Amino acid sequence: MSKLKTNHKVETLIWLTIVAVFFVFSFEFNQEIEIYKFGATGWPRVIVGLLLLVTLGNFLHLYKKGSEAQFGRVGISDDEEEISYDGIGSIQKLIAILALPLIFAWSLKPVGFYSATPVFIALTIMLLGEKRIKWVLGITLFIYLVLILLFMVILNAPLPQGNISPFYDFSAFMLTLNTKLHQSLNY
Amino acid sequence: MVDNFLAGSAALFGDPFTIGVFIFGVIGGMLFGAIPGVSMLTLAAILLPFTASLEPAQGVMLFAVIYCTGTYGGAITAILFNIPGAPENAPTAFDGYPMTRKGQSGKAVGAAVLCSAIGGVSSALIMMVATEPLANWAISNIGPPEIFALVFFGLAVASSVGGRTMWKGWMSVLLGLLIATIGQDPVGGINRYNFGISDLAAGIAFVPAIMGFFAVSEIFVQAEKKAVGMYKAPKLSLDFPTILELWSHKIAVLRSILVGFFCGILPGIGATLAAFMGYGEAVRWSKNKDSFGKGNIEGVISSETANNAATGAAMIPLLALGLPGGAMTALMVGVFQMHDLEPGPMVFYNSPELIWIVFAAMFYANVSILFIGLLETKTILHLLKIPFQFLAPMILLLASIGSYIGRGLVLDVMIMFCTGIMGFLLRRSGYSIPGIVLGIILGKIGEQNFAQGMQMVHYDVLEYLSRPICLLLIIAGFLTLFTGIYKALSYTFKS
């Protein structure tokens, strides 16, 4: 009897889509290489072909055994709990947790590291369940200062500065402070 | 050799500034290895420009020391947080993290400290005695066909661990290989799969991908548990393993030293494959296979011994042939080039003092893992006490900085978070994250060596297989592959 569930079908469909996309896009660079018989597409197409085969093997396993782990597999923990969502609230929270870093990464170019970071820290702490505002602000400040001290002051690491005012101006202000600090330490 | 070693030691400890550089390397490597979210590669990438102001010997020595101590440091995060500090620590997490969940973090970390030191010191000693003969052997016996065969064997081993089924193990590895095809092809330099994004022409940098798959995905896994109220803080324990307990695993240690050294000596392979092979062999020879992945200390021992045994060996192709064995040794080539030096056979004749300072520093760095490592461990273990909501943003930001610094691209931070989300979803469905990462790392190496090997033998498969080491590794790879398929199919059709 089939043990297939909707999520198994979706999973297989995603893998087949990956296979199809990578196979179709391989025609974009289907050029011969004079010194190499298999060209630029040989290796990726073999991988795509093998991926198709193991996806079918996986589908067979899902059909017969569902999500059951294969007996004797090494390196998988047997104490992974099944996550159960108690309502729409926890799903929304998870989506926010997953989306926030993407928004942070996207904001690095226009806003810059120096301005985006404190907001990101505070929001992450709050999303992870901290409700005490004093703690949120205190820990945000602490993490921000540690990062600035380590990467800006000590290691002089180049971090994104942003390109929109007033964020860019704030980054410039931070870097000027750093330069002055280094000058005062050197002379 | 002893005279050279003593001369190297004298040069190392005779100058206060060189001692300072050595201590900075030891502590910096351990800290950056042990702080979740960043790695020794982050530190090395930041320090690279500064090495121009150091003496060549100090610069290369600094990187070699960071390599030794950073490889150990990455085990701490793998054990405590399920976030391997570097890909070579990934198999350590298989058993190290379950041990933490059982309240045995002290035992796991203690085993990692001791075995990293044993693996590293043995490797440094063999490196000092045998760099030249081993390099000569490698030149005459190891070529692209052998390297491809080892990559194939390594991937077959990686597919057999980590995933919920054999199919998922292979799907993970193949996904990694597919990601590695993004960027220029290694033979003709033709752009592949850049989807119109010009920054992708250089491929997916592996540091952001690794940070995403390991660190960010683990944060998301824990955050999900927090969101649904199922989060449990890991248990802190400071009970280190007894000498007797570790002595009972002496065979595993010896085997991992051999495996690690052999993998390390091969150009392009490095410590990552060594750790996977060390772990795989420990499982293969164990009478208690089912206990692996559930908190078997031998898993930690074999992985950590093998990856540190590879550090000394990886210096052999770098110093003797000028071929880097991995990302860290590739950065060391950068240090050489900054000082108008080329690593290779001539370094032994032109700068013997540099070679022996590096050898001595690596030896002492591995010894210091034992002493400083134990002290550091007692401090680092207290990281487990920090509430998750405060630790998570710190890890995410450190990982963001670590990803950005390598190439100065915001795209890399974006890639890191995207791979983090991918890793989170794949882990939930029982795929192997270390398998994906190994695929990414070995993909280009495998393709390049396959292409070179095929050109060498004029596409004659029989000639390819007439090379004994190559044949042996290919047979071992196919045996692992077919055993896996047989087990998977017989399980699927068993009622």
pLDDT band at B48 (very low <50, low <70, confident <90, very high): confident
CA distances from B336 to B66, B298, B323, B330 (A): 16, 38, 12, 10
Residues of A in Cβ contact (< 8 Å) with B421: 98, 102
Tell me the two tokens of residue A133: 């505002």
Distance from the Cα of B133 to chain A's closest Cα (Å) equals 33
CB atoms within 10 A of CB B277: 28
- Three-class SS of residue B20? helix
Chain A contacts in chain B segment 435-464 (CB below 8 A): 447, 450-451, 454-455, 459
What spatial distance separates the first Cα and last Cα of chain B, rounded to whole Å? Answer: 63
Q: Which residue of chain B comes nearest to A146, CA vs CA?
A: B394
Q: Which ranges of B287-387 would DSSP assign to H, the alpha helix?
A: 297-316, 327-338, 345-350, 352-380
> Contact, B88 vs B272, CB < 8 A?
yes
Three-state DSSP at A33 gives strand
Encoded tokens for B297: 């200390």
| Count of other CB atoms within 10 angstroms of residue B326 | 28
Distance CA A2, CA B167 (A): 18
Residues in contact with B66: Cβ distance below 8 Å, sequence separation at least 6, in sequence order: B25, B28, B29, B32, B40, B43, B44, B47, B328
Q: Provide the angle, in degrees to the nearest 10, between the axes of the packed helices B388-407 and A133-147.
A: 30
For residues B97 and B293, give the distance between their C-alpha atoms in angstroms, rounded to a whole number.
Answer: 9
CA angle centred on B240, ends B234 and B243, rounded to 5°: 150
Q: Return the top range by mean pLDDT from A152-156, A174-178, B236-240, B433-437.
A: A174-178
Binned at pLDDT 50, 70 and 90, residue A174 comes out as very high
Most confident option among A95-104, B141-150, B424-433: A95-104
Q: Is residue A166 reached through a cis peptide bond, with omega within 30 degrees of 0 on the bond before it? A: yes
Query: In chain B, which residue's Cα lies nearest the Cα of A100?
Result: B417
B351-397 per-position pLDDT tens digit: 788 888 988 999 999 888 888 877 777 777 777 778 888 989 998 99
For residue B212, give the nearest of B73, B438, B414, B77 by alpha carbon.
Answer: B414
Tell me the per-residue pLDDT of B118-170, one tens digit each, with 9 for 90 and over. Answer: 888 898 888 888 877 777 777 777 788 988 888 898 888 888 777 889 999 99
- B240 with B110: CB under 8 angstroms? yes
**DSSP code of residue B14:** S
Distance CA B261, CA B271 (A): 9
Answer whether B69's CB lies under 8 Å from B30's CB.
Answer: yes
By C-alpha distance, which of A127, A112, A122 is closest to A160? A112
By the CB < 8 Å criterion, does A12 face chain B? no
Distance of alpha carbon B201 from its chain centroid, rounded? Answer: 25
Asked whether the beta carbons of residue A85 and residue B290 sit closer than 8 angstroms, the reply is no
Q: Which helix (H) or strand (E) holds B183?
A: strand B183-184
Average pLDDT over residues B52-57: 83
* B49, β-bridge pairs: none
Task: Provide the residue type at B10 as one letter.
Answer: A
Pairwise CA distance, residues B161 & B280, whole Å: 8
Identify which has the larger pLDDT, B355 or B320.
B355
* Most A CBs within 10 Å, among B47, B101, B148, B187, to test the A interface: B187
Q: How confident is the model at residue B325 (pLDDT cuts 50, 70, 90)?
A: low
Q: Give B95-125 pLDDT, tens digit per residue.
A: 898 898 888 888 898 888 888 888 888 988 8
Across chain B, which distance is largest between two alpha carbons, in Å? 71
pLDDT at A138 over 80: yes
Compute the radius of gyration of chain A from its Cα atoms.
25
- In this complex, which of B94, B167, B192 lies closest to A40 when CB atoms are compared? B192
pLDDT at A14 over 70: yes
Q: What are the two backbone dihedrals, phi and then psi, of residue B76, each rounded to the nearest 5 degrees?
A: -60, -50
3-class DSSP state for residue A36? strand
- Which band of pLDDT confidence, cut at 50, 70 and 90, is reported for residue B22? very high
Confidence (pLDDT) at A155: 81
Residue A22: list chain B partners with CB under 8 A: 178, 193
Please report the pLDDT score of residue A185 as a whole number: 79
Tell me the three state secondary structure of residue B204.
Answer: coil
pLDDT at residue B350 above 70? yes
CB B5 within 8 A of CB B128: yes
Q: What angle do CA B258, B264, B270 make, to 5 degrees?
A: 135
Task: Report yes or no: B68 and B366 within 8 Å, Cβ to Cβ.
Answer: yes
Share of chain B above pLDDT 70, in %: 95
Place of tokens 């056979």: B345
Residue B46 has what DSSP assignment?
H
Hey, what's the torsion of the CAs at B195, B199, B203, B204, to 10 degrees?
Answer: -100
Q: In this structure, which amino acid lies at residue B480?
A: T
DSSP strand E in chain A: where? Answer: none
- B-contacting residues in A 38-97 (Cβ below 8 Å): 38-40, 43-44, 47-48, 50-51, 54-55, 57-58, 60-61, 64-65, 67, 69-79, 81, 83-86, 90, 93-94, 97
Query: How close A138 gets to chain B, by Cα (Å)?
Result: 11
3-class DSSP state for residue B232?
coil
State phi, psi for B191 to the nearest 5 degrees: -70, 135
Q: Does residue B491 register a pLDDT over 80? A: yes
Strand-pairing partners, residue A74, are: B161
CB B410 within 8 A of CB A109: yes
pLDDT band with cut points at 50, 70 and 90 for residue A79: very low
